[in-house]
Amino acid sequence: MSRSFVAFAVLLGLSACGDPIPQNDAPQAKAAKPPPKPTVAAVTPAEEYYYNPAGKRDPFQGFLQIAGPGNVDVPPDWPPLQRWDIDKFVLRGIIWDTQSPRALLVDPDGLGHSVRLGTYVGRNWGKVSAISQDGIVVTEEYQNIEGDLVVNPVSVRFPEVKK
């Protein structure tokens, strides 16, 4: 083999090692590379998420607390006067100027119920506490989330007559 071919092969092998062969004998000043810029990954959500709490239990409320108004699921074997909320009943008649006053409440099924003082009405164990010529008052007692006793008087009046 010729010397020029061997020199060429050696030169080619050295250049493949990664370090450049200096062209002149003067030392080269290496320029400092700037630090790489941090890359920020762009996160784009596919769709926005909205939480809908309808029909879900409050996660911050204890499961042993007493339910407040409207939170009671009523079994079908409860008395008819306690299957609906008080505002679902319609007052149809009152006998009020006697020793034991009575009132006639009609439930959403169209059935009439005679009530007197102390009768339980509504889902929240409300008691009829007053019967007058204007209507009846049903008093509900329950505990709120803080454990305080809440007394809620609800008036049931005759429906307005449309002229």
Could you tell me the pTM of the whole model?
A: 0.52
Nearest to 150 by CA among 120, 131, 115, 126: 126
Domain 80-157 has CATH 2.40.170.20: no
Tens-digit pLDDT profile for residues 22-39: 565 555 556 677 777 777
Nearest to 107 by CA among 122, 92, 88: 88
Instruction: At 104, give phi and psi (nearest 5°).
Output: -110, 115
Tens-digit pLDDT profile for residues 50-95: 777 777 777 776 655 544 544 456 667 778 898 888 989 999 999 9
Report d(CA 89, CA 80) in Å as an integer: 11
